[in-house]
A and B are shown apart, each in its own frame.
Chain A
Amino acid sequence: MKITMREDEVFDRVKKTISNMLQVFNRDISADLTKETNINADLGVDSVELLDLLGALEKEFGIPIEAEKVVGVKTIDDFVKFIVNAQK
């Protein structure tokens, strides 16, 4: 039986993945991230860094994430919902 993660667990792991990727902060910024955080407008993640982020999320959650399927995904909540749906 496939076990799906709860949304709040996915949220915590997405925040951690983003914080780890943005290494230059040298600290865990997970606590500063909210569901409404816009990864481009608030975190400066551009199109190339977005690809790195998708790779990190694929590794974290063990699911393939094609770049075309996340067009329009802008906030952390968007990513959380995408990953929860991908598990179903």
Chain B
Amino acid sequence: MKRRVVVTGIGAITPIGIGVKEYWEACLRGDCGTDDITLFDASNYQTKIAAEVKGFNPSDFILPEVYRKLDRFAQMGVAASKMAIEDAGLENQYDKQNNNIPVIIGTVVGGGMFHEEQIFQLMENKEPRKVLSSSVPRIAPNAVTAYIAIQNKFRGPNIAVSTACSSGGNAIAFAARHIEDGYSDMVITGGVECPITPFTYAAYQSLRVLSKGLLGKKLSPRPFDKKRDGFVLGEGAGILVLEELEKAKARGGRIYAEVVGHASNCGVYHMAAPDPSGEDAAMVMKEALTHRGIEPKEVDFISAHGTATQANDICEAKAINLVMGSNRPYVSSTKSQIGHTIGAAGAIGAIAAVLALKNDVVPPNINCDEIDENCNLNIAQNSKQCKIRYSMSNSFGFGSNNTSLLFGKL
């Protein structure tokens, strides 16, 4: 019998709120984090909207001599991990000299803003010697896992997971497995991303997946809506503390939810397009359910990947219906409010699933005025009080990279 895994702490930095309480309140209010881009000059871009985190001040969480060495994404990751550790009441509850606590975080772009600034300067001045010595430590995706560990003395495996939009989901699945299989009793996990940079934004724009916000910036993105036109790039961090159940209970830790199931697969279809049959995504959801033998009819809420592209939403709807059959769980996508946060998406989506379960409230999928008939789902167009037995969180990344997480109450 595998060991049981529970969520005992959460930290969140999102375009609609900094802090898990602030995020959840804004979520239920139906706030939209989309606005004009301020992080770079987007005046000659076709798309000029993004879901930026507003008012993030790293000095609220990190000492200056530390945060000045970090790019924005690592600052957010370290700050969110501090919130999660405090939320779990962990500060003095582990041996800082002797532990094997892993840090496993999903992230894709790493220190993108700094990276691009250095490249632009190099192209302009053609002087390699002027590239800053601190470039590599700032840009490296594992800067976030390293600094979380260094700041908190977590001495176990330190792993940055990069699987595109499913990075956060995969990190959590990997973290849960560490505990189930007895490698550690606690893991710091989640996802972080700050992809709103000149090149990264242009790259997604060139893929033609970004919403132009023609209906209005606060009306974008529109997951599962008939008039959806793509996603809004977002940034943020979602960090969770996972612990072995009996150890968490023994130390009196507050338990949000149990990680009842998790699964990852590769649909072997295409690097950028989802399999239109939805079968690979359906398979990963089924595997998450069979992890503990949960029936589809027991799932009451799905925190969908829901990017608001034509392709994803249709394929995801097919996949959900293949698995759920006659069951019609509520479905909503965090991306409707916080945009697509790439490596952080799976983690923040999981946080929404956990909070929904804990509070028996389904968060809204905003901007879905008319559900696309090709997305035959029970979309929660507003937040709803609802008894939730099990909640699921899906993320589907480039490369046919699929992950599904299942959460339940104790």
Contact = CB atoms under 8 A, between A and B. Distances in A.
28 contacts: A22-B64, A23-B68, A24-B58, A24-B59, A24-B64, A24-B67, A24-B68, A25-B64, A43-B65, A44-B63, A44-B65, A44-B66, A45-B65, A46-B69, A48-B69, A48-B133, A48-B137, A49-B69, A49-B133, A49-B134, A51-B134, A52-B132, A52-B133, A52-B134, A55-B129, A55-B130, A55-B132, A55-B133
Nearest to A53: B133
Contacts of A49: 69, 133-134
Contacts of A45: 65
Interface of B: 58-59, 63-69, 129-130, 132-134, 137
A46 B150 CA distance: 14
Contacts of A48: 69, 133-134, 137
B133 A51 contact: yes
A48 B147 CA distance: 15
A59 B130 CA distance: 9
A49 B65 CA distance: 10
A24 to B, nearest CB: 4
A54 B409 CA distance: 56
A74 B21 CA distance: 45
Contacts of B58: 24
Interface in A60-74: none
A55 B58 CA distance: 26
A48 B134 CA distance: 6
Contacts of B132: 52, 55
Interface in A26-45: 43-45
- Binding site of A, secondary structure by majority: helix, strand, loop or mixed? helix
Interface centre among B64, B67, B129, B133, by most A CB within 10 Å? B133
Contacts of A52: 132-134
Contacts of B59: 24
A43 B63 CA distance: 11
Nearest to A43: B65
Task: Give the residue among B63, B64, B65 with the most A Cβ atoms within 10 A.
Answer: B65
A42 to B, nearest CB: 10
A22 B68 contact: yes
Contacts of B137: 48
A55 B125 CA distance: 15
Contacts of A25: 64
B115 to A, nearest CB: 16
A25 B129 CA distance: 26
A46 to B, nearest CB: 7
A15 B67 CA distance: 21
Nearest to A51: B133
A59 B132 CA distance: 12
A34 to B, nearest CB: 18
A67 B130 CA distance: 15
A39 to B, nearest CB: 11
Given A25-B64, A44-B64, A52-B134, 12 more contacts: A22-B64, A24-B58, A24-B59, A24-B64, A43-B65, A44-B65, A45-B65, A48-B137, A49-B69, A55-B129, A55-B130, A55-B132
Nearest to A64: B129
3 closest cross-chain pairs (CB), A and B: A44-B65, A51-B133, A24-B68
Nearest to B68: A24
**Which of A24, A48, A52 has the most chain B CB atoms closer than 10 A to its own CB?**
A24
A22 B69 CA distance: 9
Nearest to B59: A24
Contacts of B65: 43-45
B109 to A, nearest CB: 21
Nearest to B66: A44
A45 B132 CA distance: 14
Contacts of A44: 63-66
Contacts of B134: 48-49, 51-52
B66 to A, nearest CB: 7
Nearest to A67: B133
Contacts of A43: 65
Contacts of A23: 68
A57 to B, nearest CB: 13
B75 to A, nearest CB: 10
Nearest to B137: A48
Contacts of B130: 55, 59
Contacts of B64: 22, 24-25, 44
